[in-house]
Amino acid sequence: MSIQWFPGHMNAARRKAAESMEKVDLVIEVMDARLPQASSNPMIEELRNARQRPCLKILNKSDLADPVATKAWLTYFASQPRVHAVALSCKSQSDVAKVPGLCMKLAQHRGTALKPLRMMIMGIPNVGKSTLMNALLKKRVAKVGDEPAITKTQQRLYLGNNMVLIDTPGMLWPKIAHPTDGLMLAASHAIGVNAVIEEEVAVFLAGLLLERYPTLLAARYGVKPDSDAVGVIEAIAAKRSYRLKGGEPDFEKSAHTLLLDYRSGALGRISLETPASRIELLKNYVPPVLLGEQPAEQESE
């Protein structure tokens, strides 16, 4: 299933971000630690690289992610120019307290009353940008919710007298190239429920968890090792006694339960991708043939 979800206000947000990028010193990109690359908007990289701005990549929700996978991602991002990455939980005040110091190291020529450090906070919907803003400023300045695309306009806020924060709306990109990225984003609630079929997303998630975290499925739902993705959903129905009037498993309710348990961390600490799995995805990816085009091997000479 290919998921495309690009509300109109996101196009305006991209234009505004491009304008503001010229006037900032660095970018703070908030990503979901469970799927760092899939939750990284390529437009952010494009905008900041065009202006050669350094980036602090925050792998948020690290308390929900597999620590082994997170360590691998930090090593991966450390190899990129003008990038520093940190794994934390934006709900932890002690974690958030590290952020200003990390930003100062990336832009040491700024950070005084005369030349305040100007930071733009960016990220896709529902990765925790607003939570980070509120924690940094120690007051509620941004609306927080469990639905994507809460923030609609830019905000300019001051952190002491030597730092300026520019909060931007969560931006997705118009075309998600890899179908599995769309499914991971939907499973993690970065895409609105109106754009997805939850049962399909849950079956995808179940298949991935069977491959990488079978013991977590067995511990919570009694899923057997020889089960398939649909069998996982049916096992949840049996475990929770989710039945329809005729006695059939309530597939919709069971699928929703799996997604909720993953998102909340009730299922365990899970990462949906690793640097190795990302490399494998890109290696095997074949772009879809567009209408009116021929596959490369069939093109006439």
Domain ranges of the chain: 8-167, 197-283
The pLDDT of residue 289 is above 60 = no
The torsion angles phi and psi of 58, rounded to 5 degrees, stand at -105, 115
Closest among 102, 108, 67 to 85, alpha carbons compared: 102
Kindly report the average pLDDT of the chain as a whole number. 86
Alpha-carbon distance of 84 to 28, in angstroms, equals: 10
The pLDDT of residue 175 is above 90 = no
Residue 273 vs residue 141, higher pLDDT: 273
- C-beta of residue 44 within 8 angstroms of C-beta of residue 56: no
What integer is the mean pLDDT of 260-275?
97
Residue 187 vs residue 169, higher pLDDT: 187
Residue 257 vs residue 175, higher pLDDT: 257
What is the pTM (predicted TM-score) of this model? 0.85
Please tell me the class of the 197-283 domain: mainly alpha
8-167: CATH number? 3.40.50.300
Residue 227 has, within 13 A of its CA and on its CB side, a CA count of 25
The pLDDT of residue 191 is above 90 = no
The pLDDT of residue 111 is above 80 = yes
Percent of the chain at pLDDT above 70?
84
Per-residue pLDDT reduced to its tens digit, 71-83 = 999 999 999 999 9
Among 60-69, 184-193, 210-219, which is the least confidently predicted range?
A: 184-193
Per-residue pLDDT reduced to its tens digit, 50-71 = 889 999 999 999 999 999 999 9
Per-residue pLDDT reduced to its tens digit, 8-66 = 555 666 777 777 788 899 999 999 999 999 999 888 888 888 889 999 999 999 999 99
Q: What is the pLDDT of residue 3?
A: 52
Q: What is the pLDDT of residue 298?
A: 44
Closest among 170, 167, 200, 169 to 183, alpha carbons compared: 200
Which of 38-42, 114-118, 217-221: highest mean pLDDT? 217-221
Beta bridge partners of 158: 164
The pLDDT of residue 210 is above 50 = yes
Per-residue pLDDT reduced to its tens digit, 124-174 = 888 998 899 889 988 877 655 444 444 445 678 888 889 999 887 766 666
Per-residue pLDDT band for 113 (boundaries 50, 70, 90) equals: confident
The pLDDT of residue 118 is above 80 = yes
- C-beta of residue 119 within 8 angstroms of C-beta of residue 69: no
